[in-house]
C-alpha cells in the first residue's frame, strides 16, 4: 500500500483523476494520506476537503527560514503517515532534504515527452508553446521520479499524443491533459503493485546460484 501525499498548487485535475481511478477500482493499493498546497486558494485543496481528506496549506512564507519550513513540511508528511509523494501541478521546488528523505518515492507528471521540453521555465502553457515552435509532430505526458535535477529523474510511464497542424498551445494542452489523467493513475498503480522494480520502490530479489 502506498500512502500518498499529493502536492499541488492549482486546480487539481490530475488529483481528481487519481481519486476517480481509486473510486472505480482501477487504481488499487493507493491511499491518499493528505493533500498539501503552497496556495491556500488552490482547487486541489477544495477537492480534498470535499472528500474529507486532510488538506494542508503550507508555504515557505509562513516560516522564518528554509530549514524550519522543511522541518514542518516533513513533520506534516510523517504525521499523516505518508510514505510516498505525488506532485500534481506543484509549482514550487521540492526542497533537497525532502527529496533525500523520500528518495525514489516522489513522482511528478510533466506535460511533454521528457527529456524533451523539460527543465527550467518549462511549465504550464510554455511547454506547449515550445513544442509547437519546434514543429514537433508528437507530444505527450511523462510520469517520472523526482530527483535533484528538474524533470530529469527516471521515467516511469510516458504516452504520446499527436500534434495537429491547427493546434494552438491551448488545444494541445487539453489533449495532453487527457493523457495525463490516464497515465498518472496507471503509473501509481504500477508503483503500488511493485511492478516497477529498483530503484523505484523495492530492490529486485536476485537469487545467486551456487556454483
Ligand atoms: C498539469 O498539466 C501537469 O502536467 C503539470 O501541472 C498541471 C497540473 O494540472 N505539472 P492540474 O492541477 O492537475 O489540473
Mean pLDDT in runs of 10 for the chain (211 residues)? 97 98 98 98 98 98 97 98 98 96 96 96 96 98 95 94 98 98 97 70 43 42
Q: What is the pTM of this model?
A: 0.92
Is residue 71 domain-shared with residue 55, that is, in the same domain?
yes
CA 169 to each of CA 31, 124, 166, 179: distance values in angstroms, whole numbers, following the listed order:
34, 10, 10, 16
Is residue 118 domain-shared with residue 91, that is, in the same domain?
no
Is residue 31 domain-shared with residue 78, that is, in the same domain?
yes
Is residue 98 domain-shared with residue 120, that is, in the same domain?
no
CA 138 to each of CA 34, 75, 160: distance values in angstroms, whole numbers, following the listed order:
35, 42, 6
**Among candidate residues 103, 120, 150, the one where a domain is terminated:** 103
**Among candidate residues 103, 119, 143, the one where a domain is terminated:** 103
**Among candidate residues 77, 103, 129, the one where a domain is terminated:** 103
Provide the pLDDT for residue 211: 42
Q: Give which of 133, 127, 93, 134 is closest to 110, Cα–Cα.
A: 127
Residue nearest to atom 8 of ligand 1 (CA): 89
What CATH code is carried by the domain that includes residue 55? 3.40.50.170
Is residue 49 domain-shared with residue 86, that is, in the same domain?
yes
Spacing, Cα 182 to ligand 1 middle (Å) = 13
Pocket of ligand 1 (CB under 6 A): 8, 10-14, 88-89, 109-111, 177, 180
Spacing, Cα 199 to ligand 1 middle (Å) = 25
Is residue 70 domain-shared with residue 35, that is, in the same domain?
yes
Is residue 97 domain-shared with residue 155, that is, in the same domain?
no
Q: What domain range includes position 207?
A: 108-211
Is residue 128 domain-shared with residue 182, that is, in the same domain?
yes
Mutate to test the pocket of ligand 1, among 21, 88, 188 (most ligand atoms within 8 A of CB): 88
Is residue 1 domain-shared with residue 21, that is, in the same domain?
yes
Spacing, Cα 162 to ligand 1 middle (Å) = 19
Is residue 194 domain-shared with residue 166, that is, in the same domain?
yes
Burial 78-114 (b: 16+ CB within 10 A, else e): eebebbbbbbbbbeeebbeebbebbebbbbbbbbbbb
State the total domains in the chain.
2
Provide the pLDDT for residue 197: 55
Provide the pLDDT for residue 147: 94
Is residue 129 domain-shared with residue 94, that is, in the same domain?
no
Name the strand (E) or helix (H) holding 159: strand 155-162
Is 181 part of the annotated catalytic residue set? no
Is residue 5 domain-shared with residue 81, that is, in the same domain?
yes
Amino acid at each position: 500500500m502506498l500512502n500518498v501525499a499529493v502536492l499541488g498548487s492549482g486546480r487539481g485535475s490530475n488529483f481528481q483523476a487519481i481519486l476517480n481511478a481509486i473510486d472505480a477500482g482501477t487504481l488499487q493499493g493507493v491511499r491518499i494520506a493528505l493533500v498539501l498546497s503552497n496556495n491556500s486558494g488552490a482547487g486541489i485543496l477544495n477537492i480534498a476537503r470535499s472528500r474529507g481528506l486532510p488538506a494542508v496549506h503550507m508555504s515557505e512564507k509562513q516560516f522564518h527560514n528554509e530549514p524550519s519550513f522543511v522541518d514542518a513540511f516533513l513533520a506534516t508528511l510523517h504525521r499523516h503517515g505518508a510514505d510516498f509523494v505525488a506532485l500534481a501541478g506543484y509549482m514550487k521546488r521540492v526542497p533537497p532534504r525532502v527529496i533525500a528523505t523520500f528518495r525514489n518515492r516522489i513522482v511528478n507528471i510533466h506535460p511533454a515527452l521528457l527529456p524533451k521540453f523539460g527543465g527550467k521555465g518549462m511549465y504550464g502553457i510554455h511547454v506547449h508553446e515550445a513544442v509547437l515552435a519546434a514543429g514537433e509532430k508528437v507530444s505527450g505526458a511523462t510520469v517520472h521520479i523526482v530527483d535533484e535535477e528538474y524533470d530529469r529523474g527516471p521515467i516511469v510511464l510516458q504516452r504520446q499524443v499527436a500534434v495537429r497542424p491547427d493546434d494552438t498551445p491551448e488545444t494541445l494542452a487539453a489533449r495532453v491533459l487527457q493523457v495525463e489523467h490516464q497515465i498518472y493513475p496507471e503509473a501509481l498503480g504500477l508503483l503500488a503493485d511493485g511492478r516497477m522494480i529498483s530503484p523505484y520502490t523495492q530492490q529486485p530479489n536476485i537469487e545467486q546460484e551456487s556454483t
